[in-house]
Amino acid sequence: MFKALLRLIVLLIVVGVVVAAGAVWFVQRHGLSARDEPSRIETEVALRLRHLAIPADQRDRKNPLQATTANVQDGMEHFADHCAICHSNTGVGDTPLARGLYPHPPIMREPRTQSLTDGEMFAIIQNGIRFTGMPAFADEHGDEETWKLVLFIRHLPRQTPQEIKAMEKLNPKAPDDEPKTAEEPPAGEAGKVRKHTHGKG
């Protein structure tokens, strides 16, 4: 019994050394650039770890909200304001910010995301995912807001062009994108300018 346990420990140590050596080799060969596409092995390992990181009782949770027009609309508006900067309005993640992330945000209308349980989506939004660009929103989103986001993510494969257009108006605008308005100088300043001008004439 002791010998079998010792052999198992030695085997685990050898496997650990081989894995560590492989990781060092990979980093030295490919670097840690966020510009590269994750390899298939990286992707599979990351997805497996993400699944294991969510406790079973959280994965099994069902969305308590119904997919009513109002709830999906609320989720859409929240998504446009908070999530589209990385995930884009269509959930494909093709934004300037997303293109610089490693790994890139998932295409949320495809099976990899749509096959997640309601509880998994909820947990990911609330708790984020370590070592990715996905932050935790538990301190910013209430449970109801997050469940509405889940409803909207479920709706993405059926999203209409009209909804995408409506979302564009809800996206946060950078200062340079805001429409410029002519600013009137204060009355006193305007008077000073006029006096100064007349003085010259």
SS (H, E, C) the chain: CHHHHHHHHHHHHHHHHHHHHHHHHHHHHHCCCCCCCCCHHHHHHHHHHHHHHCCHHHHCCCCCCCCCHHHHHHHHHHHHHHCHHHHCCCCCCCCHHHHCCCCCCCCCCCHHHHCCCHHHHHHHHHHCCCCCCCCCCCCCCCHHHHHHHHHHHHHHHHCCHHHHHHHHCCCCCCHHHCCCCCCCCCHHHHHHHHHHHHHHC
Give yes or no for residue 16 having a pLDDT over 60: no
For residue 51, is it within any domain? no
CATH number, residue 98 = 1.10.760.10
Mean pLDDT of 81-98: 95
pLDDT of residue 153: 98
For residue 186, is it within any domain? no
For residue 78, is it within any domain? yes
Report pLDDT digits (tens) over 158-189.
Answer: 999 999 999 999 999 876 655 555 454 445 54
For residue 99, is it within any domain? yes
For residue 181, is it within any domain? no
Give yes or no for residue 85 having a pLDDT over 80: yes
Number of structural domains the chain divides into: 1
For residue 187, is it within any domain? no
Give yes or no for residue 91 having a pLDDT over 60: yes
Would the pTM of this model clear 0.75, i.e. be above it? no
For residue 183, is it within any domain? no
Which domain range does residue 158 map to? 63-172
For residue 53, is it within any domain? no
